[in-house]
Amino acid sequence: MQGPPGRPSLEAQLQGRLWRGSSLSTAADPTLASGFTALDAELPGGGWPLRAVTELLTPQFGVLEWRLLAPALRGWWAAQALPAATAGRRARAPALRSLLLINPPHTPHLPGLQALGLPHAALVWVSAGTPAQALWAAEQAIKSRVAVLAWLPEARPEQVRRLQVNALSSDAPAFLVRPERAGQQSSAAPLRLVVQPGEGWGLNVHLLKRRGPAHEGWLELPAVPGAVEPLLTAAKRKPLPAPMPAPAPAPASPPTERADALARAVLQA
């Protein structure tokens, strides 16, 4: 249907806001490139959503999520361009927007995070005493448009829904790390991924939920940390070959029973 002259038609106004279930969503909401070409090709909008929470379901906390998210977080801070210099004044770099780490499973290792390209000055560690406090911290951070990486193993579906509602008005990424078994529960998060260790330095990723068709199979993503990559030889970049099974030991022969002296025949004189 055509609109009045000079005004876009209804179809043009809705373009990008509607999506068919058989295709990936192309909504106009901003996204953040993940740093993995194969993953961006499967994510609606071509990257991590910035007005939604993303759930990362993993069998082990503290390792895989950093290797998966580090490229995107580097890009998040790099996108904060320096302001233009004004006449007679020096251009000052803006304060970096913070990333709140809520209840990480291990004490954050700043040298390791810096090696991933994450500036330590922008990292804020929040250690909540209870699950309710962790949820409150995540909600307040999302409301304040602060980037969030929260480990919430005990979050209930209605609590995740509340975080998702708050994320609709934020332009910062929000990631919730939860155990893999949480994939059996319903969730209001529009994007949910299962992350497992792959061969060598790789990651295996399956999109459990997205705005679009169901994702089939697994993505194999190379995830060698930037500081480690120059130290690896070509052989070290590949997974180690499976060890050959050890030969089964030969069955021991049963001990030969020695006749007792009392069981021997008596010699007749």
Q: Residue 82's pLDDT is what?
A: 47
Q: Residue 269's pLDDT is what?
A: 42
Q: Residue 190's pLDDT is what?
A: 95
Q: What is the tens place of the pLDDT at every residue in 45-93?
A: 999 999 999 999 999 898 899 999 999 999 888 887 545 444 445 555 5
Q: Residue 117's pLDDT is what?
A: 82
Among 82-91, 120-129, 136-145, whose mean pLDDT is lowest? 82-91
User: Which two three-digit tokens encode residue 222?
Assistant: 């190379």
Q: What is the tens place of the pLDDT at every residue in 220-260?
A: 999 876 555 555 545 555 554 545 555 655 555 554 544 44
Q: Residue 28's pLDDT is what?
A: 60
Domains along the sequence of the chain with CATH: 35-79+95-231 (3.40.50.300)
**266 pLDDT above the threshold of 70:** no
The pTM score is 0.73
Q: What is the tens place of the pLDDT at every residue in 188-219?
A: 999 999 999 988 889 999 999 998 888 899 99
**265 pLDDT above the threshold of 60:** no
**β-strand pairing of 31-32 with 147-151:** unpaired
Q: What is the tens place of the pLDDT at every residue in 156-200?
A: 999 999 999 999 999 999 999 999 999 999 999 999 999 999 888
Q: Residue 264's pLDDT is what?
A: 46
